Structure 1
Amino acid sequence: MINSASTEVGIGGQAHESFQKLPTSEISSSITFAVLIYTNVFFSLAYFLGNLSIIIEKLTSLQFASNLQLVILLPCYIIWCLGELARFYFAYIGNLKERVPQMSAFLLMTIFPQLPCVIYLGFYQEFIYPFDGSTGAVMLVILIVELFFGYLTLHTLIQRQTAQFYRLCQEEEDEQRSKILS
């Protein structure tokens, strides 16, 4: 007896089971994490432009008491810029394409160099403007929230891929047993 809900008639009148037998895969990527990264792209652009203008103004009009502060400021900003671009790439690939190494790279790059650079640029420079402190605090909160949701996404990806690997191993063992028994 053919159940019309679970079969379709194919070319040449042959019946075959429909979508119910197709392998389904659960999506492990996090929409919350994706929206957070998307939002951070725009905030980082504003942070980049604002800090660039302030750093140029500081370097041209202010006299630094310590040469160390002068030497650290610009490289820290450049490291933040390059790190942010790499973080966005790793977050996008790791989350949407569900790749564990890229998600791990995103988390590591968030911890270092991004957190120390944002903390320095926002709170430990020799001359701190109100813009530095306020945008630094917002960026710090965003980075911490990204760390939290990135960790949850990575944990979900690892659990899912471990379950798939275990299921694949079980299927191979079952096939080998059936060959031995037959």
Structure 2
Amino acid sequence: MSVHTPLPRNVRHGLASISGSLFIQNKTTDCGEHQSYHKGHEVMSSIPLQMALYFNVFFFPIWFMSEIIMLELKYFLLPGYYQFLLITAVTIITLIEILRLYLGYIGNLHEKVPELAGFLLLTLLIQMPLFLFLLTDEKILILPLEFAVRVIYVIFLNMELLVSFFVLRIMTRQLATQFYLHQTDDLENKIVPAKCSQVTIHRIKRSMIELQETDALMY
């Protein structure tokens, strides 16, 4: 049963190509809608990554509520452009975080390389810079509650970045190995029947020759 993913097919292929170019020449079947495993399949899902995602999901509403409350308290003390920047940053982080956590769950639990690569890129290119901006720019009047919550969230992001990088590396190489082994098995299955058919033809010809010789001796 295939798992629903919000990523379009061309985006999934692009993410799989990126991960393959980083770790190995990835030409695996994980880019498709279905993914088959051999009986001896080794589970590659990461328990540390899943734990980080699990606690991140529960901490996300706490961060969001604290940001809204603190923003309301200091909103009119900020310059106009910082008001716009804060609202924009919180909005982008909220929308991206929902998609990011969902991709992380699918990519890790179902061993999907494109989803896990998307999770890694969203964390590195969008969420981390925005959180560092909220954490380091003193002109936005960082309150103690904001500072504590943002530090915890940055710790989550760093943990997820580090673990997901290694998981994606292992997963890509493992799936590539399985793909090449599967291709080898298919090739052997095609060659063996051909050899068997040739042996059978030779046996039939030899039997026919023996029958002809027997008939000639009888006559």
Within 2, Cα distance between the matches of 1:50 and 1:126? Answer: 15
Give the structure 1 partner of residue 50 of structure 2: 34
Larger radius of gyration: 2
Give the structure 2 partner of residue 67 of structure 1: 80
Give the structure 2 partner of residue 141 of structure 1: 155
Query: Is 1:44 matched up with 2:57?
Result: no
- Work out whether residues 77 and 121 of structure 1, in 8 Å CA contact, stay in contact via their aligned partners in 2: no
How many angstroms does 1:176 deviate by? 2.4
Give the structure 2 partner of residue 7 of structure 1: none
Query: Is 1:119 matched up with 2:132?
Result: yes
- Residue pairs, 1:33-182, within 5 angstroms: 33-59=49-75, 62-64=76-78, 66-124=79-137, 125-182=139-196
The one-letter code of the counterpart of 1:85 is I
Within 2, Cα distance between the matches of 1:102 and 1:23? Answer: 24
Identical positions, percent: 26
The one-letter code of the counterpart of 1:162 is A
Within 2, Cα distance between the matches of 1:123 and 1:52? Answer: 18
How many angstroms does 1:126 deviate by? 2.1
- Work out whether residues 76 and 117 of structure 1, in 8 Å CA contact, stay in contact via their aligned partners in 2: yes
- Work out whether residues 123 and 133 of structure 1, in 8 Å CA contact, stay in contact via their aligned partners in 2: no
How many angstroms does 1:122 deviate by? 2.1
Which gives a bigger RCO, structure 1 or 2 (Cα 8 Å, sep 6+)? Answer: 2
**Gaps in structure 2 of 5+ consecutive residues:** 1-37, 197-219
Normalised by the size of structure 1, how large is the TM-score? 0.81
What CA RMSD, in Å, does the superposition of the two structures yield over aligned residues? 1.5
Within 1, Cα distance between the matches of 2:125 and 2:69? Answer: 24
Range 66-75 or range 87-96, more displaced: 66-75
How many angstroms does 1:174 deviate by? 1.0
How many angstroms does 1:63 deviate by? 2.5
How many angstroms does 1:134 deviate by? 2.0
How many angstroms does 1:169 deviate by? 1.0
After superposition, the C-alpha distances for 1:116-153 in whole angstroms (9 at most, x for unaligned) are 12112222152111122222222112101100111111
Query: Between Structure 1 and Structure 2, how many residues are aligned?
Result: 158
Range 100-109 or range 166-175, more displaced: 166-175
Normalised by the size of structure 2, how large is the TM-score? 0.68
Range 132-141 or range 88-97, more displaced: 132-141
